[in-house]
Chain A
């Protein structure tokens, strides 16, 4: 079971504001989903190696050669607020 406090803690980790109603609903929904997820524990997984990806590749390297990339102007074009040289945000220490 996931309670309200856990929901609020996880929402904080995920930088996600939730309204009061959403916190309650999320607690119920996550509990139900995790209950299903926990059916994994019926399996005997002793000694089984975890799979993080399925491609039979390790350390794909390339020559460290500089290549042209996006112009700064183009990269800044889609930002909701930008200066000539960067993305503009409120001070992280403002509050």
Chain B
């Protein structure tokens, strides 16, 4: 297969398969070759062969933490090294039912805890725009694979920004749906009240197609609702009458080059017939503080199951059960995961619960109220996705708090449970800048339409294929 496919979106490839000009098996084989030749560390596993039934759509790169039957699914952690689950996550199964086959499993921050992919138990991922820089995280492998053209499209998960931030840093589209839109069954859990699966794609149309297949109510996840009206393909080319509230442009950490591209995008919104006004989210600035109580607290409970008994490697300890647990968990978990387990356990421990977890849950309520008030004034809340372009590998690893602050613009939405997309809106210092559009719960179709209109106007087109 020629490199012609490289220039096509997944939807364009699907159209060729539909028209009989390309077989799904040819597409799979082409992308398998691309994925196997990856040099960025984006993959932890690539399919050995083209499946007998290659489906009807281009194949997909799947973040490691999705359980896929018989395929290594380790959530980027040494504590699950070699784990091959006996069942497949509902989101992945929905894609398989729609004719999408799994191309490979992508690298990620261990248990999705990180903003740079440097916390993977299996090595970092390089950003295809500049290999000395991070791809973002935690879905860094998925983002880098799509940006570098080693996958036609990918899925990831977003707990505090883990789809949108790497999409922003790699110059692609990434969407976190409304909490409950996609089943969490078979997603190795990080923070259960926040985790949500979503697409990482070349363009907005591909994101809509994937989300349409992913979403749905699932008896195996009692918090799943699906998207009531489904996900129609976006068609809008204008933004007439739509009101956009811009937030966060006064943040001290916002890079001038990022602000410039975001401002240029706001001007495009007005050119397309939309209006832009500043909007206040008075509590959003406390989002990081609340998030770094709630997410570690939930993680400390979710990660209690990794004890060297049912799956993964086991350390002997001193020969008794408690030291077997303690040594297995010491050896298997990376530094950041241990840190989060410690924060979460502390915050939930007797005497501190109300001061930390109770307070954080109240902040969460206030953030949701801020958004509700904003959506009384405007249709969408927009902002930069990340205050900075991709940073250097190693630049923030010495300072956990500095790394946490990378999620400033993306953390409030999952706390409120609402959907948001990041689309590439330009370059700063030769690196991609992401523009974030958030809307009320289950407004995915409207967000995708607005993103589609903007995408046409921006004409980013920059995939640094090598």
Contacts of B313 in A (CB 8 A): 80
Q: How many residues of B contact A (CB 8 A)?
A: 67
Asked if A94 meets B321 with Cβ closer than 8 Å, knowing A16-B338, A52-B361, the reply is yes
In B301-335, the 8 Å CB interface with A consists of 304, 307-314, 318-327, 329-330, 333
Give the distance to chain A from B88, nearest Cβ to Cβ, in Å. Answer: 13
Contact A14 B300 (CB under 8 A): yes
Contact A15 B325 (CB under 8 A): yes
Contact B290 A30 (CB under 8 A): no
Contacts of B349 in A (CB 8 A): 10, 13
Contacts of B342 in A (CB 8 A): 7, 10-11, 14, 16, 26, 30
A70 to B310, CA, bound (A): 14
Contact A51 B84 (CB under 8 A): no
Say which size band chain A's interface belongs to: 35 or more
Contact B400 A77 (CB under 8 A): no
Give the contacting residue for B286; candidates A40, A54, A70; CB below 8 A. A40
Give the distance to chain A from B420, nearest Cβ to Cβ, in Å. Answer: 14
- State the majority secondary structure of interface residues on A: loop
In B86-125, the 8 Å CB interface with A consists of 86-87
In A18-71, the 8 Å CB interface with B consists of 18, 22, 26, 29-30, 32-34, 36-43, 45, 48-55, 57, 60, 62, 70
Contact B366 A26 (CB under 8 A): no
Give the distance to chain B from A19, nearest Cβ to Cβ, in Å. Answer: 8
Residue A91 lies at the interface, judged by CB distance under 8 Å to chain B:
yes
Contact B286 A39 (CB under 8 A): yes
Give the distance to chain B from A78, nearest Cβ to Cβ, in Å. Answer: 4
Residue B47 lies at the interface, judged by CB distance under 8 Å to chain A:
no
Residue of B nearest to A18 (CB): B330
Give the contacting residue for A13; candidates B333, B339, B345; CB below 8 A. B345
Give the distance to chain A from B219, nearest Cβ to Cβ, in Å. Answer: 6
Contact B324 A17 (CB under 8 A): no
A92 to B322, CA, bound (A): 7
Asked if A10 meets B321 with Cβ closer than 8 Å, knowing A16-B326, A40-B359, A54-B179, the reply is no
Contact A51 B364 (CB under 8 A): yes
Give the distance to chain B from A6, nearest Cβ to Cβ, in Å. Answer: 8
Give the distance to chain B from A34, nearest Cβ to Cβ, in Å. Answer: 8
Contact A55 B225 (CB under 8 A): yes
Contact B289 A15 (CB under 8 A): no
Residue B288 lies at the interface, judged by CB distance under 8 Å to chain A:
yes
Contact B180 A37 (CB under 8 A): no
Contact B86 A39 (CB under 8 A): no
Contacts of B309 in A (CB 8 A): 79-80, 87, 89
Give the distance to chain B from A27, nearest Cβ to Cβ, in Å. Answer: 10
Contact A16 B290 (CB under 8 A): no
Residue of A nearest to B296 (CB): A33
Contacts of A5 in B (CB 8 A): none
Contact B365 A48 (CB under 8 A): yes
Contact A54 B87 (CB under 8 A): no
Contacts of A18 in B (CB 8 A): 330, 338
Show the binding face of B for A, using Cβ within 8 Å.
Answer: 83-87, 179-180, 193, 219, 222-223, 225, 283, 286, 288-290, 292-293, 300, 304, 307-314, 318-327, 329-330, 333, 338-339, 341-343, 345-346, 349, 356, 358-366, 368, 400-401, 404, 416-417, 441
Show the binding face of A for B, using Cβ within 8 Å.
Answer: 2, 6-7, 10-11, 13-18, 22, 26, 29-30, 32-34, 36-43, 45, 48-55, 57, 60, 62, 70, 74-75, 77-81, 87, 89-92, 94-95
**Cβ contacts A to B, 28 pairs, < 8 Å:** A15-B307, A16-B329, A16-B333, A17-B327, A18-B338, A33-B343, A33-B400, A36-B289, A40-B289, A40-B360, A40-B363, A42-B286, A43-B283, A48-B366, A50-B358, A51-B362, A51-B364, A54-B416, A55-B417, A57-B223, A70-B87, A75-B86, A77-B86, A78-B84, A78-B312, A89-B309, A94-B320, A94-B321
User: Which 10 pairs, one residue from A and one from B, show the smallest C-beta to C-beta distance?
Assistant: A54-B417, A50-B361, A95-B320, A80-B314, A60-B222, A17-B326, A17-B330, A78-B311, A48-B362, A14-B345
User: Beyond the given A16-B342, A42-B286, could you list 8 further A-B residue pairs with CB under 8 A, ordered by the A residue number?
Assistant: A15-B325, A17-B330, A38-B289, A40-B290, A40-B359, A55-B179, A57-B222, A95-B318
